[in-house]
């Protein structure tokens, strides 16, 4: 589940870090604030389309798996603990201090709607891990909190190397005939103790090397300088406008009372409680973002303009 960023030649990968963050935050806000399942399905479809446009399927496979597992768990578990609803499908036994363990149609659909929302939010964060460079994101926050950003950057950088080192040490121990599996807890702990000791010593050596490198570069001796690699372009302004449009439509829908949906005691008609203008507006805005992402790589003239 450790996110791995790989830069690719797409519009979403080339955005300013703050713009990419704004885009994923507006998608997550829309999925969480809009309760009508038709809105959530639209946001979910737009997020999956953006993952496809960013060519990030391989990077989002882990998020896809955990999203499906959590969605399936919510969809199956909710009808067992939520016995509200007028249309009972299965009459279950009576449990003391709980009541009848009945399964209703409303509880099943409510679980499916909640599962879809959780899946959408997880996929949004998967998209964020695929299109936002963590170094650029931490560099953006370093302007406000340099020491915390430095600590986070070092942790992000050192964690993959520690995982690789642990794997290599474990392979060497297996080649030497160490029994890392089987036996009791104490025997396994004794077998893993050399690996933990070696990793601890290696982490101290890396920390000393990093401290010497920072001292040689004059860290903390004066005002920091930075190399600005990202320029604000027309594509960033367009994505900002579209992201703010998504956020504006979401807030307006919530304020006007057209975002809610009633599952209990009986199901409401989602098309009646839906605002057609808001749904079409969201569909058009998300389609424009996907269209810009796809056309940016295909049309060189359009690419040179933004």
Q: Is the pLDDT of residue 39 over 70?
A: yes
Local structure of residue 99 (DSSP, 8 states) = E
- Using CA atoms, how far apart are residues 45 and 205, in angstroms rounded to an integer? 48
Whether the per-residue pLDDT at 153 is higher than 80: the answer is: no
High-pLDDT (> 90) share of the chain, %? 32
pLDDT reading at 146 higher than 70: no
Please tell me the pTM assigned to this model.
Answer: 0.76
Residue 2 scores a pLDDT above 80: no
> What is d(CA 249, CA 300) in angstroms, rounded to the nearest whole number?
32
Top-confidence residue, 169 or 48: 48
Residue 31: its pLDDT value, please? 93
Cis peptide before 26 (omega within 30 of 0): no
What letter would DSSP give residue 143? Answer: T
The C-alpha atoms of residue 169 and residue 164 are separated, in whole angstroms, by 9
Looking at per-residue pLDDT, the higher value among 142 and 267 belongs to 267
pLDDT in tens, 209-241: 877 887 787 766 666 666 656 678 889 999 999
Number of H helices, E strands in the chain: 11, 4
Alpha-carbon distances, residue 40 vs 31, 65, 103, 118, 183 (angstroms): 6, 19, 24, 10, 50
Query: Exposure of 288 by Cβ count < 10 A (0-12 exposed, 13-18 middle, 19+ buried)?
Result: middle
Residue 197 has pLDDT above 90, yes or no: no
Which range, 63-72, 90-99, 200-209, 295-304, has the best average confidence (pLDDT)?
A: 63-72
């Amino acid at each position: 589940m450790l996110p791995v960023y790989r830069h690719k030649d797409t519009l979403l990968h080339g955005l300013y870090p703050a713009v990419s963050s704004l885009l994923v935050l507006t998608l997550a806000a829309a999925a969480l604030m809009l309760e009508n399942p038709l809105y959530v399905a639209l946001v979910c479809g737009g997020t999956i389309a953006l993952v496809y446009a960013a060519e990030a399927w391989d990077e989002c496979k882990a998020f896809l798996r955990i999203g499906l597992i959590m969605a399936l768990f919510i969809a199956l578990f909710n009808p067992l603990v939520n016995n509200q609803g007028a249309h009972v499908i299965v009459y279950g036994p009576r449990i003391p201090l709980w009541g009848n363990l009945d399964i209703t149609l409303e509880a099943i659909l409510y679980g499916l709607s909640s599962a879809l929302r959780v899946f959408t939010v997880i996929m949004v964060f998967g998209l964020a891990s695929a299109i936002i460079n963590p170094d650029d994101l931490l560099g953006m926050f370093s302007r406000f909190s340099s020491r915390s950003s430095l600590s986070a950057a070092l942790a992000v950088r050192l964690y993959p190397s520690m995982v690789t080192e642990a794997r290599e040490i474990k392979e060497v121990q297996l080649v030497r005939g160490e029994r890392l599996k089987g036996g009791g807890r104490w025997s396994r702990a004794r077998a893993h103790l050399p690996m933990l000791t070696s990793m601890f010593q290696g982490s101290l050596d890396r920390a000393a090397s990093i401290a010497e490198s920072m001292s040689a570069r004059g860290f903390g001796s004066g005002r920091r300088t930075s190399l600005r690699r990202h320029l604000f372009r027309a594509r960033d302004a367009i994505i900002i406008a579209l992201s703010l449009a998504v956020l504006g439509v979401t807030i307006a829908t919530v304020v006007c009372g057209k975002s809610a949906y009633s599952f209990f005691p009986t199901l409401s008609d989602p098309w009646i409680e839906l605002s057609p203008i808001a749904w079409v507006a969201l569909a058009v805005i998300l389609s424009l973002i996907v269209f810009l992402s796809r056309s940016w790589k295909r049309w060189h003239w359009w690419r040179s303009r933004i």
